[in-house]
Structure 1
Amino acid sequence: MDDKLRFFTLKSLFQWNKDEGAKEKIFLPKLQRSFVWKTEQISNLWDSILRGFPIGSFLLAFNKENLSKELLDGQQR
């Protein structure tokens, strides 16, 4: 198993998505809790990101079987 800890900036994740031509997506695995954020909370998060405020971290797992990325932690904050 090739488990590696990697750090990405939001800019590098957006660039990855652009470079991959949106063939790959970030998925929510079935074990993750249901999405509960309201539209205003999502807007506030994007506002914080665009202003450069710290937002904490997200934990992604790379699924080698289907080459996807899964959001394991972060959506519930």
Structure 2
Amino acid sequence: MSNYQVNNTNINALISWIEQDIVAIPEIQRPFVWKSSKVRDLLDSLYNDYPVGYIITWQNPDTRLKDGTVSHGKKILIDGQQRVTAIMAAISGKEVVGNFRLIECVDSH
């Protein structure tokens, strides 16, 4: 019996998991570091239906998360958090600050 599963999940399902608070970022992950050009390139790849790599999640009931809480069985992002955070920021029109929190972008004009 394998210790892991490989599933093909579309971007809509991934976004749904995030909106339902099923996916979480563990405290061990580095801060969000992508520049806007990298986010643009990711969205371009998605738009053109190019592969954008694997997203690896792990289910563990007591993993400490970036926000200081415990996972309680959520899908923990082991690999792909830069891509997932970039996608959610782009879709929501929000800026990433602090511990991967999305805040409203404020127009300075």
1:14 to 8, 12, 15: 12
Query: Does residue 67 of the first structure (1) align with residue 73 of the second (2)?
Result: yes
Look up the match of 2:88: none
Q: By how many angstroms is 1:44 displaced?
A: 1.5
Runs of 4+ displaced beyond 3 Å: none
Query: Structure 1: any 5+ residue segments left out of the alignment?
Result: none
Query: Which amino acid counterpart does residue 14 of structure 1 have in structure 2?
Result: N
Amino acid at match of 1:8: N
8 A contact 2:59–2:74 mirrored in 1: yes
Match of 2:49 in 1: 52
* RMSD of aligned Cα (Å): 3.0
Question: How far did 1:16 drift?
Answer: 6.4
AA partner of residue 7 (structure 1): V
Equivalence for 2:98:
none
2:25/2:81 contact within 8 Å kept: no
Query: Is the 8 Å Cα contact of residues 17 and 25 (structure 1) preserved in structure 2?
Result: no
- Indicate the SS of the match to 2:54: coil
Q: Is the 8 A contact 1:17 1:24 kept in 2?
A: no
Structure having greater relative contact order (Cα 8 Å, sep ≥ 6): 1
Identity %: 28
The normalised TM-score by structure 2 is 0.50
